[in-house]
A and B are shown apart, each in its own frame.
Chain A
């Protein structure tokens, strides 16, 4: 049973436009959420995170929004650039419930078209 779901396997966006990647979770114990970016033949790299006590976190072109009541988070990239083309993984952890591994979604492949 998937606890973290990324329902869109792929997304194509024009350069300069906004990219919105979505993620849903089922476990109400999750209290920390992260986005990772992965290029082919490389390891994932951390992009941005958000604690459950916040509903928004912004870092440059990247903003993550959290809607706890809907158990939904989204990553906004604006403006999108060709170098943003990668697979994006949503992940969640239950920090206050002890030391448990991150749970990852299946990823969304973003293609930014010039």
Chain B
């Protein structure tokens, strides 16, 4: 079974803090994604990566950055957390390399509260 592991299930941070959300997948997937989920807004794509050291902006990249130094790990960084970044953050991966149907494998999610 594909396993996507997010480092923290629940975090509480202060406005202005730098926040790191880590995600690791164990199936050698090429593609990795970060989404946030908010009530009434669905799943919104923040950033994605189709290869190591490669990143692409999604629909809502403002206020976020990402890092993919290794194939299995994709980190989401909030340089200076703000209250409007309080949300559920979801990491996902997919095979890539012509094996992709678009199906994503999601982690359990990280609930971030910014005070």
Contacts and interface: CB of A to CB of B under 8 A. Distances in A.
Interface stretch (B12-20, B65-73, B78-86, B94-102): B94-102
Interface in B94-113: 96, 100-109, 111
Interface of A: 6, 9, 32, 34, 36, 38, 41-46, 49, 89, 91-93, 95, 99, 101-102, 104-107
B90 interface: yes
Contacts of A41: 9, 108-109, 111
B101 A49 contact: yes
B66 to A, nearest CB: 14
Interface of B: 4, 9, 31, 33, 35, 37, 40-45, 48, 50, 58, 90, 92, 96, 100-109, 111
A101 B106 contact: no
Contacts, number: 63
Contact of A93 (B92, B102, B107): B102
Interface centre among B9, B50, B106 (most CB of A within 10 A): B106
